[in-house]
Amino acid sequence: MTEKTMVQAINDALRHEMRRDDRVVVLGEDVGRVGGVFRVTQGLWDEFGDDRVVDTPLSEGGIIGTAIGMALYGLVPVPEIQFADFIYPAYDQIVSELAKLRWRSGGEYPAKIVIRTPVGGGIRGGLYHSQSPESLFIHVAGLKVVCPSSPYDAKGLLLASIRDPDPVLFFEPKRVYRAAKGDVPDGEYTVPLGKAAVVREGRDVTVLAWGAMLYEAVAAADEASAQGVDAEILDLRTLWPVDIEAIVTSVKKTGRLVVVHEAPRTCGFGAELVTLVTERAFVHLEAPPVRVCGFDTPFPYALEMEYLPLAHRILPALIETARF
């Protein structure tokens, strides 16, 4: 067991899986000699060489199209999109081709691909380096969507994703790439996809969060506790397929729900989570569900900390929902 940052944990997972399975290939812009813009793939090129750590042209559609071809011929590609904001040129390849291959071929041509990409704000990246596009992919049948919050989960979820038969979008919250530290086993382990984690027990209100916003939710819950509100926090970890059983179990206990996410409010994943809960636990709700989200604007630069749903915005939602 070694204390690692999320960057180190993800690098460890990639190295472990590339040693275990020679079909695993990493590709993307600057992932080779440079080690990626955040140095997540640093050292992999030195060990595995050009054939398995491939520096690509600046073409997201080309990166994903190439990865799909690799997967159809039996490789297990792990392409990196340098920022989630740049994934849109590859959206057609992901949605029109990758997500549908297993279905259209009757299971004959599954495509095992894990698309890694850093998401979210908090690093003063402005509107082109701060977006959270998870709902665009959750909406598409055939894709799984993962977003770890801790180094331990990052390694375990990435190993599970690489071994999963379906294509996975693996969103990495860059705000906590190096800020989040924790003990990570040096060897083999996986965190199962589709399972949420209760990171804080509580009785008054259920809070759903993921990625960097988990830490803001915890901070808000600690402040709420001083005001007599006991919040239970679930880290979803896998956004789709979501662990609706764990969510409903918690809401039935607390009778209240608050969802926190960085993406804009309208048509964000929070809206779907609220619907899933009201369909299954409406009679248990004692207050209207609340969403604390980004705003329906492009991500700002100067007002970044006003845009993000930080603890000071989450706290009033917890208090008001608990006392409704």
CA nearest to 313, candidates 274, 239, 251, 262 = 262
Max distance between CA atoms of the chain, in angstroms, equals 59
Which amino acid does the sequence have at 159?
A: L
Q: How far apart are CA 72 and CA 74, in angstroms?
A: 6
Residues designated catalytic: 129
